[in-house]
Structure 1
Amino acid sequence: MTSHLTPHGTADDAHLLLVEDDEVIRSTVRMLLERYGFTVSTAADGLSGLEMFREKNPDLLLLDVMLPHLDGIGLCRRIRELSLAPILMMSARGDSLDVISGLEAGADDYVVKPCESSVLVARIRSLLRRVSFTPAPADTPDTAVLTFGELTIDTRGMDVHRAGQPLALTPTELRMLLEFAASPGVVLERRTLLNRVWDHAWHGDSRVVDLHVQRLRVKIGAERIETVRGFGYKFRR
C-alpha cells in the first residue's frame, strides 16, 4: 500500500485527480482548481478513474458518488486497497447514506454539490496539509516514541505499530491518533477534533469524526478509544 505522507509538492501545486461524469461540472471544477495552481487530471467514470489513478499517482482524489461502470463508493474502496492518498467525496444530494458509505469506504472528507469554490479549495488544502503534517520535534528520543500497551507511536518517524506489526493509517487517521495520544485520559469533543484534524472553522458534520473513530478503532483496538456520551471521545492510557 502506497503512503502519501510526503506529498509531491506544496498544497497549491499538488496533482489532483477529479472523477466526475457530468462534463460541465468536470470542466468547471477543473478550470477552478487550475486557477488556484493545482495540476488536475480528470476521468468520466469509475473504471477510467481507477486506471488514471494507477497511471498518475495523484496527491489527492475528488470522487463523485454517482459514477457509471464503478460508482464513487466502489472506486474509493478499490483505491484504499492500493493507497493512503487523501480522498474527498462529492455528493449531489448530501444524503446521509452517501456520506456514511463514502466515509466507511475510506474517504477522508466530503462536500455537497453545488459547493462554493472557497469551501472546496479550503477542504482540499486542509487534506493536503494533513498529508505533509510534521509534529513539533520531541525534546528527547524517549519522548518521540509513545507507548500505550501494545500500541507504539513514533511521532518523528510517523510510524504506528500494534503488537509489533505496522499499521497503515491514512493521514487523517494518523492526525486523529496523534491528537488523542497527546491528551490521554482527556475527553475531546467532536467539535475540537473537527477543528484540529479537519480544520473545519465552519459548521462541519460530526459524522465525519464518528466514522473516522470507528475506522481507527478497528486498526488500533476498539478498547483504546472510549465514547463519552454527550461529550466526545477519550483515549485510554
Structure 2
Amino acid sequence: MDNQKDKILVVDDETSIRRILETRLSMIGYEVVSASDGEEALNIFRKEYPSLIILDIMMPKLDGYGVCQELRKESDVPIIMLTALGDVSDRITGLELGADDYIIKPFSPKELEARIRSVLRRVDKISINSSIPSSGIINIGFLKVDTNKKQVYKNNERVRLTGMEFSLLELLVSKAGEAFSRASILQEVWGYTPERHVDTRVVDVHISRLRAKLEEDPGNPDLILTARGIGYLFQKIMTSN
C-alpha cells in the first residue's frame, strides 16, 4: 500500500482510544506511535518525525492547544484535532492555532481514516492544473508562489504555510477570478462534503490564516477576496514567469 511510508502519531489520554486507533491504523498500513499527554507528544514528535498527528484537546500536563501552538513554531506537520468540546468556538481555536482539521468525539473510525487519507493526499499532491505555468512559478504582485516546491515568498522572504494552507492557496490561484463556495472548497481541498454548516468554518479559519500571512493589510485584503453570498476568490492580477 502506498501509505506504508506514513507514520502517524496518536495523542490522547484515553488508553482505549489510543489502542483502537493504533490497531485500526496499523491494519491499513500506517506505522503508528502514540502519546498519552502533551509533553510526551512533543518529545515523541521530535524523535519520530511523523507524517501526521491525531491530537486530542483535553489532556494533562499540556493540552492539545498548547501542543499545536508549539508544533507550529517548528513544523508544518498535518494535525487533525479530536475534540469532545461542544462549543463551536473551542473547535475553531484549534484551527486558528494551526490545525488542519478536526473531528468530534464520539467519531467513526472510518470517518477519521478518510480524513487522514484526504489530508495526506492533499499535502503530498503534485499540481497538475493546466492553468499553472510550466515553470510552476506564479508572481502575484509582491508574492511569488512556487507550485513545484510548494513554497511562497512575500517581498522575497519565505512564508511558512502548512500543507493544507498551500493547497487552499493553490486552488484559488489556479482559478483566479473564479468564486468558490465554502462547500466546494471543503470538497476540493479537504476531500469531504460538509454535513453541517459549522463544518465550513474550517475554510473560513484557513482563509483568515492565509490573509494574515500573505496580505499587506489582512483586515482589508487585496488578494483573497470575499465573494458575497458565495464564498471566496483570488483577485485576478497574476503575471507568470
Q: TM-score, normalised by structure 2?
A: 0.89
**Residue 212 of structure 1 pairs with residue 206 of structure 2:** yes
Q: Could you tell me how far 1:142 is from its partner in structure 2?
A: 6.2
Distance across 2 between alignment mates of 1:209 and 1:22: 29
Q: Secondary structure at the match of 1:200?
A: coil
Q: Could you tell me how far 1:47 is from its partner in structure 2?
A: 0.5
Distance across 2 between alignment mates of 1:134 and 1:84: 17
Q: Percent identity?
A: 38
Q: Residue deviations 1:67-100, cap 9 Å, x none? A: 1010001100101111000000000134312211
Kindly tell me: are residues 140 and 195 of structure 1, through their superposed partners in 2, closer, same or farther at Cα, counting changes over 3 Å?
closer
Distance across 1 between alignment mates of 2:153 and 2:5: 32
Q: Which residue identity lines up with residue 25 of structure 2 in the other structure?
A: L
Distance across 1 between alignment mates of 2:131 and 2:78: 30
- Of the candidates 172, 176, 180, which is equivalent to residue 172 of structure 2? 180
Matches within 5 A, 1:1-237: 10-136=2-128, 144-201=136-193, 203=195, 205-221=199-215, 222=218, 223=221, 224-236=223-235, 237=237
Contact 1:88 1:110 in 2 (8 A): yes
Contact 2:224 2:232 in 1 (8 A): yes
Q: Which residue identity lines up with residue 53 of structure 2 in the other structure?
A: L
Q: Which residue identity lines up with residue 75 of structure 1 in the other structure?
A: V
Q: Could you tell me how far 1:156 is from its partner in structure 2?
A: 2.1
Which runs of 5 or more structure 1 residues have no equivalent in the other structure? 1-8
Q: Which residue identity lines up with residue 206 of structure 2 in the other structure?
A: H
Distance across 2 between alignment mates of 1:69 and 1:202: 34
RMSD: 1.9
Q: Secondary structure at the match of 2:115?
A: helix
Distance across 1 between alignment mates of 2:181 and 2:132: 30
Distance across 2 between alignment mates of 1:76 and 1:64: 10
Distance across 1 between alignment mates of 2:30 and 2:124: 16
Q: Could you tell me how far 1:12 is from its partner in structure 2?
A: 4.5
Q: Secondary structure at the match of 1:211?
A: helix
Distance across 2 between alignment mates of 1:141 and 1:229: 29
Which runs of 5 or more structure 2 residues have no equivalent in the other structure? none
Q: Secondary structure at the match of 1:119?
A: helix
| Number of residues of Structure 1 aligned to a counterpart in Structure 2 | 229
Q: Could you tell me how far 1:232 is from its partner in structure 2?
A: 0.3
Kindly tell me: are residues 141 and 183 of structure 1, through their superposed partners in 2, closer, same or farther at Cα, counting changes over 3 Å?
closer
Q: Could you tell me how far 1:123 is from its partner in structure 2?
A: 0.3
Distance across 1 between alignment mates of 2:96 and 2:211: 13
Q: Which residue identity lines up with residue 49 of structure 1 in the other structure?
A: A
Q: TM-score, normalised by structure 1?
A: 0.91
**Range 12-21 or range 93-102, more displaced:** 93-102
Q: Residue deviations 1:114-151, cap 9 Å, x none? A: 11121010000111112211011769966521111111
